[in-house]
Amino acid sequence: MSEPMKVLFLAGKGRSGGTLLAGLMGQIPGFFSVGELNRLWDAGIVSNFLCGCGSPVRECDTWRAIIARADELSGRGPDNSIMGAGIDRDQAAVVRWPNAPRLLRTRFAHRDRWPDLERYTDAASAVYRAIGDVTGAKVVVDSSRVPFEPVALGLVPEVEVRIAHLVRDPRAVVYSWKRKKKLTDRESGEMDRFGATYSTVSWTARNLIVEAIGRRTELRLVHYDDLARDPAGVLRDLAAFVGESAGALDFIADGSAEIRPTHSVGGNPNRMETGRTAIRPDEEWRERIGRTDRLIGTTLALPLLHRYDLPVRTRR
Q: Is 307 exposed, middle or buried (0-12, 13-18, 19+ CB in 10 A)?
A: exposed
- Whether residue 24 contacts residue 226, with contact meaning beta carbons closer than 8 Å, is answered with no
Per the structure, the count of domains in the chain is 1
Could you tell me the pLDDT band of residue 316, with boundaries at 50, 70 and 90?
low
Residue 218: predicted pLDDT = 87
- What does DSSP say about strands 139-145 and 5-12: parallel, antiparallel, or unpaired? parallel
Structural domain includes residue 221: yes
Over residues 166-180, mean pLDDT: 97
Structural domain includes residue 314: no
- Whether residue 82 contacts residue 219, with contact meaning beta carbons closer than 8 Å, is answered with no
Structural domain includes residue 315: no
pLDDT at 12 over 70: yes
Range of the domain at 119: 5-305
Residue 1: predicted pLDDT = 54
Structural domain includes residue 180: yes
Give residue-wise pLDDT tens across range 199-221: 999 999 999 999 999 988 889 99
Over residues 135-142, mean pLDDT: 98
Cα dihedral 33, 35, 40, 45 sign: negative
CA distance 248 to 270: 25
Could you tell me the pLDDT band of residue 30, with boundaries at 50, 70 and 90?
very high
DSSP string of 295-313? HHHHHHHHHHHTTTT--SS
Structural domain includes residue 74: yes
Structural domain includes residue 310: no
pTM above 0.85, yes or no: yes
Could you tell me the pLDDT band of residue 77, with boundaries at 50, 70 and 90?
confident
Structural domain includes residue 56: yes
Is 163 strand, coil or helix? strand
Q: In what order do the strands lie in the sheet with 252-253?
A: 252-253, 256-259, 275-278
Structural domain includes residue 210: yes
CA distance 289 to 175: 6
Over residues 265-292, mean pLDDT: 94
Is 220 strand, coil or helix? strand
CATH of the domain at 297: 3.40.50
